[in-house]
Structure 1
């Protein structure tokens, strides 16, 4: 049943991907938008969700809450060579055993980065994508046998495949990770793809994340998210999330997780420039 649902999702996203994409906006418009954009903004989605496992018994210990806080600070505008700009980001993701006695945190992951962003244009000087090159660190701030951390150089590219479908692909070159988690790449791999489809633009959306580990097996992960915005003048949504796979958190990256959660999200508009 799970494989059938997963295959159906892949087929659906593949079919809608072949529609023609929009023409994009001009270089001068992009320069103006970047020049007038807030220096401080949301980077990844900020959310608080809670849910239950669907592959084991539901108890106070297996149900949990997950939340994420993420922001971005522009250090420069599009004034650096090759139309690039410098930015800092910080993302913090927490797994909270909120239903247990004393409500302990299972883990908190800290993920700062510094990087360069660049709009990408076609021969007609129309925007076709956004690229970024980042130096990232991620760790869980723990010691002893529970310590997990890794560093990577990440290359990310986002584009519209058609007026409703956005693809973000990210690849990384990891380093300084083998002391605490030498087999990490067997679970997180070297790349990730995210597809977001506007079922009803700015009201009802679906998102699919895919990640594959390095070995020739099924270790990896996929995540499905459904967003619904109840209020017109807002970037606040309700979100249903299904995560199935490995490395959702660092401390338990070798353990298979199959969780469904629901909650509240403040969505980022970082890539909305591609939809104009």
Structure 2
């Protein structure tokens, strides 16, 4: 006799429809049962959101900026890249940052592993300084940096002392330029190694070490940029609670000059009654001091304070 299939269990009509929809819409890279780094880089099967979908990368933000100085006459170690005349920029301006990424492929080297997933990503970040408060010079964009990159991330799950976990390592290639012609053109290319570890969902430590790709003297817009912006970066993030995050990012030249920068950020989650009690919108307060806040300022030290709004994920 033919086997018969048992009928499906009845649906409990007492369950509210919204609850059924919520269960069906669980998204791996937003599933809070996984750690911060696992969700960000989709290191595990359960934290995977699939390829060719846009993710947030760095914060997407709009901020009001006040600085100790503004670069009215940009200079470079290259004689052809020195501005000929000053522009009457103001120290107070707007900063707009857009940043997205997408996963191109996964399971390249971890195919067959029951839980871990490596991945290949492409990202793009754009940061613009807008002289909104300078009507006398028609409110121009003082500088816009474009930063496309490609990165490969390999997952790990090694236990470290004091409860820390080593979560990933990777390699990347990044181009950064401001898209301007001479004498304001600035650009460079780097290859980097990166890694990250975390303690529960409270603390994360990330690091990058990079090497600038060689350019001939006649095509180098910014000689010695690594001695100003740096050759390494260390990031420390503390999730104080579900609504507040503090982050410190430090860069260093790893050379005799000892130059670099430090960036301290506070992000506070904002809620609104229009869309619910909690959103992905953050109040973003930032203090930066050092070199390389933008490419046009790669060799100019300044301190910048900004307050604005950031969309940290979408």
Q: Kindly tell me: are residues 181 and 36 of structure 1, through their superposed partners in 2, closer, same or farther at Cα, counting changes over 3 Å? A: closer
What residue in structure 2 maps to residue 16 of structure 1?
none
What residue in structure 1 maps to residue 64 of structure 2?
50
RMSD, matched Cα: 2.7
What residue in structure 2 maps to residue 87 of structure 1?
121
Aligned partner of 1:241 among 286, 305, 313: 286
Q: What is the TM-score normalised by the length of structure 2? A: 0.69
Does 1:103 find its partner at 2:144?
Answer: no
What residue in structure 2 maps to residue 132 of structure 1?
170
Rounded to whole Å, the distance in 2 between the matches of 1:35 and 1:268 is 13
Aligned partner of 1:210 among 231, 250, 255: 250
What residue in structure 2 maps to residue 273 of structure 1?
none
Residues 165-204 of structure 1 aligned to structure 2 (within 5 Å): 165-177=203-215, 179-201=220-242, 203-204=243-244
How much has 1:115 moved relative to structure 2? Answer: 1.9
Question: Which consecutive unaligned segments of at least 5 residues does structure 1 have?
Answer: 1-21, 270-276
Query: Contact 1:154/1:172 (CA < 8 Å) preserved in 2?
Result: yes
Rounded to whole Å, the distance in 2 between the matches of 1:171 and 1:39 is 28
How much has 1:259 moved relative to structure 2? Answer: 1.3
Question: Which consecutive unaligned segments of at least 5 residues does structure 2 have?
Answer: 1-34, 71-87, 111-116, 272-276
How much has 1:233 moved relative to structure 2? Answer: 2.7
Deviation string, structure 1 residues 59-111 (Cα, Å, up to 9, x no partner)? 9711111111011111113x212342221111111111111121111110000
Rounded to whole Å, the distance in 1 between the matches of 2:43 and 2:264 is 33
Rg (Cα) greater in structure: 2
Q: Kindly tell me: are residues 176 and 147 of structure 1, through their superposed partners in 2, closer, same or farther at Cα, counting changes over 3 Å? A: farther
Residues 197-276 of structure 1 aligned to structure 2 (within 5 Å): 197-201=238-242, 203-231=243-271, 232-268=277-313
Higher relative contact order (CA 8 A, sep 6+): 1
Paired positions, count: 239
Q: Runs of 4+ in structure 1 displaced over 6 angstroms?
A: none
Query: Contact 2:50/2:103 (CA < 8 Å) preserved in 1?
Result: no
More strand by share: 1
